[in-house]
Amino acid sequence: MVKVIDLEIGMPKTEATMRAAEINRGRPGTPQSESLPRPEGYGFDNYGHIFGTAPPSPPGETREMLDALVAEMDRSNVEYGLLVNMPNNEIGQINRDYPGRFKMFPALDPTDGMRAVRELERLVREDGASGFRVSSLYSALPANDRRYYPLYAKCVELEVPVRIYTAMTYANDRPYELGHPRHLDDIAIDFPELKIAAGLAGWPWINDMVGLLRRHPNLYCDTAAHRPRYLGKDGSGWEMFLQYGNSLLQDKVMIGFSRYLFNCGYDELIAEYQDLPLKAPVLEKWFYGNAVEFFG
Protein backbone atom coordinates (compact mmCIF):
# COMPACT_ATOMS: atom_id res chain seq x y z
CA MET A 1 0.00 0.00 0.00
CA VAL A 2 1.31 3.49 -0.90
CA LYS A 3 2.50 5.58 2.08
CA VAL A 4 0.83 8.97 2.30
CA ILE A 5 0.95 12.34 4.10
CA ASP A 6 -1.99 14.69 3.49
CA LEU A 7 -1.29 18.44 3.28
CA GLU A 8 -4.90 19.47 3.77
CA ILE A 9 -7.26 17.54 6.00
CA GLY A 10 -10.55 19.37 6.33
CA MET A 11 -11.79 19.52 9.89
CA PRO A 12 -15.33 18.06 10.11
CA LYS A 13 -17.95 20.58 11.12
CA THR A 14 -18.24 21.31 14.83
CA GLU A 15 -19.80 24.22 16.67
CA ALA A 16 -16.31 25.67 17.16
CA THR A 17 -15.28 25.45 13.51
CA MET A 18 -18.56 26.97 12.39
CA ARG A 19 -18.02 29.92 14.74
CA ALA A 20 -14.50 30.36 13.37
CA ALA A 21 -15.76 30.25 9.77
CA GLU A 22 -18.38 32.90 10.53
CA ILE A 23 -15.72 35.23 11.91
CA ASN A 24 -13.22 34.52 9.11
CA ARG A 25 -15.72 35.24 6.39
CA GLY A 26 -16.74 38.69 7.50
CA ARG A 27 -16.03 41.85 5.57
CA PRO A 28 -12.43 42.85 4.95
CA GLY A 29 -11.27 45.27 7.59
CA THR A 30 -13.13 45.99 10.80
CA PRO A 31 -16.77 44.73 10.87
CA GLN A 32 -19.46 47.16 11.95
CA SER A 33 -22.21 46.10 14.34
CA GLU A 34 -24.81 47.90 12.21
CA SER A 35 -23.67 46.57 8.84
CA LEU A 36 -26.43 46.34 6.26
CA PRO A 37 -27.29 43.01 4.62
CA ARG A 38 -24.95 42.16 1.76
CA PRO A 39 -26.13 41.81 -1.86
CA GLU A 40 -27.12 38.25 -2.73
CA GLY A 41 -24.21 36.19 -4.07
CA TYR A 42 -21.60 38.72 -2.92
CA GLY A 43 -18.33 37.95 -1.13
CA PHE A 44 -17.90 34.33 -0.07
CA ASP A 45 -21.37 33.49 -1.35
CA ASN A 46 -19.82 33.66 -4.82
CA TYR A 47 -18.04 30.35 -4.13
CA GLY A 48 -21.42 28.67 -4.26
CA HIS A 49 -22.03 30.25 -7.66
CA ILE A 50 -18.63 29.17 -9.00
CA PHE A 51 -18.35 25.68 -7.53
CA GLY A 52 -21.88 24.78 -6.51
CA THR A 53 -23.12 24.33 -2.97
CA ALA A 54 -22.08 21.19 -1.12
CA PRO A 55 -24.84 19.24 0.62
CA PRO A 56 -25.19 20.52 4.20
CA SER A 57 -23.87 18.27 6.93
CA PRO A 58 -24.77 18.70 10.59
CA PRO A 59 -21.97 19.70 12.95
CA GLY A 60 -20.67 17.07 15.35
CA GLU A 61 -18.51 16.87 18.43
CA THR A 62 -14.80 17.33 17.81
CA ARG A 63 -13.73 14.04 19.42
CA GLU A 64 -16.19 11.78 17.59
CA MET A 65 -15.53 13.46 14.24
CA LEU A 66 -11.76 13.15 14.66
CA ASP A 67 -12.07 9.51 15.76
CA ALA A 68 -13.81 8.75 12.46
CA LEU A 69 -11.27 10.80 10.52
CA VAL A 70 -8.29 9.00 12.08
CA ALA A 71 -9.93 5.64 11.30
CA GLU A 72 -10.22 6.65 7.65
CA MET A 73 -6.61 7.82 7.63
CA ASP A 74 -5.55 4.45 9.02
CA ARG A 75 -7.47 2.57 6.34
CA SER A 76 -5.68 4.53 3.60
CA ASN A 77 -2.22 4.52 5.25
CA VAL A 78 -2.19 8.30 5.83
CA GLU A 79 0.48 8.67 8.51
CA TYR A 80 -0.37 12.27 9.46
CA GLY A 81 -1.59 15.46 7.86
CA LEU A 82 -2.15 19.18 8.14
CA LEU A 83 -5.49 19.75 9.86
CA VAL A 84 -6.92 23.06 8.67
CA ASN A 85 -9.61 25.40 10.00
CA MET A 86 -9.17 24.46 13.66
CA PRO A 87 -9.66 27.18 16.30
CA ASN A 88 -6.34 27.93 17.96
CA ASN A 89 -7.65 27.06 21.42
CA GLU A 90 -8.30 23.44 20.38
CA ILE A 91 -4.80 22.72 19.05
CA GLY A 92 -3.33 21.59 22.37
CA GLN A 93 -6.15 19.18 23.20
CA ILE A 94 -6.11 17.63 19.73
CA ASN A 95 -2.36 17.04 20.00
CA ARG A 96 -2.87 15.38 23.38
CA ASP A 97 -5.75 13.21 22.10
CA TYR A 98 -4.10 12.23 18.79
CA PRO A 99 -0.34 12.46 19.25
CA GLY A 100 1.58 12.53 15.99
CA ARG A 101 -1.48 12.38 13.71
CA PHE A 102 -1.98 16.05 12.87
CA LYS A 103 0.05 19.13 12.09
CA MET A 104 -1.80 22.32 12.98
CA PHE A 105 -0.87 25.84 11.92
CA PRO A 106 -2.67 28.61 13.82
CA ALA A 107 -3.78 31.76 12.03
CA LEU A 108 -3.14 35.02 13.89
CA ASP A 109 -4.09 38.62 13.20
CA PRO A 110 -0.98 40.55 12.05
CA THR A 111 -2.50 43.78 13.34
CA ASP A 112 -2.13 42.40 16.89
CA GLY A 113 1.60 43.08 16.70
CA MET A 114 3.74 41.57 19.44
CA ARG A 115 0.69 40.07 21.15
CA ALA A 116 0.30 37.82 18.10
CA VAL A 117 4.02 37.00 18.16
CA ARG A 118 3.86 35.97 21.81
CA GLU A 119 0.73 33.92 21.17
CA LEU A 120 2.41 32.11 18.27
CA GLU A 121 5.33 31.21 20.51
CA ARG A 122 2.97 29.95 23.23
CA LEU A 123 0.99 27.85 20.76
CA VAL A 124 4.16 26.25 19.41
CA ARG A 125 5.95 25.69 22.72
CA GLU A 126 2.97 24.77 24.92
CA ASP A 127 0.28 23.41 22.60
CA GLY A 128 2.46 21.76 19.98
CA ALA A 129 1.46 23.90 16.98
CA SER A 130 3.62 22.99 14.01
CA GLY A 131 3.81 26.31 12.18
CA PHE A 132 1.91 29.43 11.18
CA ARG A 133 -0.86 29.96 8.61
CA VAL A 134 -1.47 33.08 6.52
CA SER A 135 -4.80 33.41 4.69
CA SER A 136 -4.93 36.63 2.71
CA LEU A 137 -8.28 35.35 1.49
CA TYR A 138 -9.64 36.21 4.95
CA SER A 139 -7.39 39.02 6.16
CA ALA A 140 -7.45 40.92 2.82
CA LEU A 141 -3.75 41.66 3.42
CA PRO A 142 -1.22 40.20 0.97
CA ALA A 143 1.26 37.89 2.64
CA ASN A 144 4.17 40.29 2.08
CA ASP A 145 2.48 43.01 4.14
CA ARG A 146 5.10 44.11 6.68
CA ARG A 147 2.68 43.58 9.56
CA TYR A 148 3.29 39.84 9.09
CA TYR A 149 7.05 40.18 9.32
CA PRO A 150 7.42 39.85 13.11
CA LEU A 151 5.47 36.58 12.87
CA TYR A 152 7.75 35.29 10.09
CA ALA A 153 10.78 36.21 12.17
CA LYS A 154 9.35 34.26 15.12
CA CYS A 155 8.81 31.23 12.84
CA VAL A 156 12.49 31.33 11.88
CA GLU A 157 13.46 31.57 15.54
CA LEU A 158 11.19 28.66 16.48
CA GLU A 159 12.26 26.67 13.38
CA VAL A 160 8.69 26.11 12.22
CA PRO A 161 7.31 26.61 8.69
CA VAL A 162 4.55 28.82 7.36
CA ARG A 163 1.76 27.93 4.94
CA ILE A 164 0.51 30.82 2.84
CA TYR A 165 -2.72 30.90 0.85
CA THR A 166 -1.51 31.20 -2.75
CA ALA A 167 -4.33 31.25 -5.28
CA MET A 168 -6.98 33.50 -6.75
CA THR A 169 -9.88 34.26 -4.45
CA TYR A 170 -13.43 33.99 -5.75
CA ALA A 171 -14.76 36.11 -2.88
CA ASN A 172 -15.65 39.06 -5.08
CA ASP A 173 -15.65 41.69 -2.36
CA ARG A 174 -11.83 41.81 -2.20
CA PRO A 175 -9.01 41.90 -4.78
CA TYR A 176 -8.66 38.68 -6.76
CA GLU A 177 -4.85 38.73 -6.61
CA LEU A 178 -4.39 38.83 -2.81
CA GLY A 179 -2.91 35.32 -3.05
CA HIS A 180 -0.70 35.90 -6.10
CA PRO A 181 2.62 33.96 -5.89
CA ARG A 182 4.57 37.18 -6.46
CA HIS A 183 3.92 38.14 -2.84
CA LEU A 184 6.00 35.13 -1.76
CA ASP A 185 9.09 36.50 -3.48
CA ASP A 186 9.54 39.33 -0.97
CA ILE A 187 9.11 36.96 1.96
CA ALA A 188 11.57 34.39 0.63
CA ILE A 189 14.13 37.15 -0.09
CA ASP A 190 13.79 38.70 3.37
CA PHE A 191 13.60 35.36 5.26
CA PRO A 192 15.78 32.89 3.35
CA GLU A 193 15.75 30.45 6.30
CA LEU A 194 11.95 30.32 6.49
CA LYS A 195 10.30 27.22 5.06
CA ILE A 196 7.22 28.29 3.08
CA ALA A 197 4.43 26.14 1.65
CA ALA A 198 2.42 27.86 -1.06
CA GLY A 199 -1.01 26.43 -0.35
CA LEU A 200 -3.16 25.65 -3.43
CA ALA A 201 -0.11 25.88 -5.73
CA GLY A 202 -0.69 29.39 -7.03
CA TRP A 203 -3.63 28.77 -9.32
CA PRO A 204 -4.10 30.31 -11.90
CA TRP A 205 -0.60 31.79 -11.97
CA ILE A 206 1.06 28.42 -12.47
CA ASN A 207 4.01 29.66 -14.52
CA ASP A 208 4.88 32.24 -11.84
CA MET A 209 4.63 29.51 -9.19
CA VAL A 210 6.99 27.22 -11.09
CA GLY A 211 9.52 30.03 -11.53
CA LEU A 212 9.46 30.96 -7.84
CA LEU A 213 9.82 27.31 -6.77
CA ARG A 214 12.95 27.15 -8.91
CA ARG A 215 14.20 30.46 -7.52
CA HIS A 216 13.86 29.89 -3.76
CA PRO A 217 15.32 26.76 -2.08
CA ASN A 218 12.97 26.85 0.94
CA LEU A 219 9.77 27.42 -1.04
CA TYR A 220 7.44 24.43 -1.50
CA CYS A 221 3.84 24.14 -2.65
CA ASP A 222 0.86 21.86 -2.14
CA THR A 223 -1.99 20.86 -4.42
CA ALA A 224 -4.87 21.44 -2.00
CA ALA A 225 -8.32 22.34 -3.37
CA HIS A 226 -7.61 20.91 -6.85
CA ARG A 227 -9.12 17.63 -8.05
CA PRO A 228 -6.19 15.50 -9.28
CA ARG A 229 -8.04 13.97 -12.23
CA TYR A 230 -8.18 17.41 -13.88
CA LEU A 231 -4.50 18.31 -13.47
CA GLY A 232 -3.45 16.20 -16.45
CA LYS A 233 -6.17 17.42 -18.83
CA ASP A 234 -4.99 19.18 -21.99
CA GLY A 235 -5.52 22.90 -21.70
CA SER A 236 -5.99 22.80 -17.94
CA GLY A 237 -3.11 25.20 -17.35
CA TRP A 238 -1.21 22.68 -15.22
CA GLU A 239 1.08 21.48 -18.01
CA MET A 240 4.20 23.33 -16.83
CA PHE A 241 3.52 22.34 -13.22
CA LEU A 242 3.38 18.64 -14.10
CA GLN A 243 6.43 18.86 -16.36
CA TYR A 244 8.61 20.51 -13.74
CA GLY A 245 7.00 18.66 -10.86
CA ASN A 246 8.04 15.44 -12.57
CA SER A 247 11.63 16.60 -13.01
CA LEU A 248 13.42 19.69 -11.68
CA LEU A 249 10.82 20.43 -8.99
CA GLN A 250 10.04 16.88 -7.92
CA ASP A 251 11.33 17.68 -4.40
CA LYS A 252 9.09 20.74 -4.01
CA VAL A 253 5.51 19.46 -4.43
CA MET A 254 3.28 18.07 -1.65
CA ILE A 255 -0.28 16.82 -1.91
CA GLY A 256 -3.30 18.31 -0.16
CA PHE A 257 -6.27 16.03 -0.76
CA SER A 258 -9.06 18.41 0.35
CA ARG A 259 -11.53 15.55 0.65
CA TYR A 260 -14.10 17.87 2.19
CA LEU A 261 -14.36 19.73 -1.14
CA PHE A 262 -14.83 16.67 -3.33
CA ASN A 263 -16.98 14.53 -1.04
CA CYS A 264 -14.94 11.38 -1.63
CA GLY A 265 -12.45 9.22 0.25
CA TYR A 266 -8.68 9.01 0.26
CA ASP A 267 -8.46 5.89 -1.89
CA GLU A 268 -10.29 7.49 -4.80
CA LEU A 269 -8.07 10.58 -4.78
CA ILE A 270 -4.87 8.54 -4.34
CA ALA A 271 -5.83 6.53 -7.41
CA GLU A 272 -6.37 9.72 -9.40
CA TYR A 273 -2.86 10.93 -8.53
CA GLN A 274 -1.47 7.55 -9.53
CA ASP A 275 -3.10 7.99 -12.96
CA LEU A 276 -1.23 11.25 -13.61
CA PRO A 277 1.85 11.11 -15.90
CA LEU A 278 4.30 11.09 -13.00
CA LYS A 279 7.24 8.75 -12.45
CA ALA A 280 6.77 6.34 -9.54
CA PRO A 281 9.71 7.73 -7.48
CA VAL A 282 8.38 11.26 -8.03
CA LEU A 283 4.89 10.28 -6.93
CA GLU A 284 6.33 8.81 -3.71
CA LYS A 285 7.96 12.18 -3.03
CA TRP A 286 4.69 14.03 -3.70
CA PHE A 287 2.73 11.65 -1.46
CA TYR A 288 5.20 11.43 1.41
CA GLY A 289 8.89 12.26 1.15
CA ASN A 290 8.64 15.99 0.43
CA ALA A 291 6.29 16.57 3.37
CA VAL A 292 8.68 14.73 5.69
CA GLU A 293 11.42 17.08 4.55
CA PHE A 294 9.19 20.14 4.83
CA PHE A 295 8.01 19.40 8.36
CA GLY A 296 11.51 18.40 9.37
pLDDT value of position 69: 96
| Domain membership flag for residue 113 | yes
In terms of residue numbers, what domain contains 69?
A: 4-25+38-295
Residue-wise pLDDT tens digits, 102-141: 999 999 999 999 999 999 999 999 999 999 999 999 999 9
- What domain count does the chain have? 1
Residue 48 is assigned to a structural domain of this protein: yes
- Please, how many CA atoms are within 13 Å of residue 163, restricted to the half-sphere of its CB? 27
Which backbone phi and psi does 176 adopt, to 5 degrees? -70, -25
Do 287 and 5 meet the contact criterion of CB atoms below 8 Å apart? yes
Q: What is the pLDDT of residues 67-104, one digit of tens each?
A: 999 999 999 999 999 999 889 999 999 999 999 999 99
Examine residue 168 and state whether it is found in any structural domain, yes or no: yes
Q: Does some domain include residue 253?
A: yes
Cβ atoms of 245 and 253 within 8 Å: the answer is yes
* Residue 33 counted as domain residue: no
| 204 upstream amide cis, omega within 30 of 0 | yes
**CATH for 74:** 3.20.20.140
Does 241 map to a domain? yes
How far, in Å, CA of 192 to CA of 14, rounded? 38
User: Does any domain span residue 30?
Assistant: no
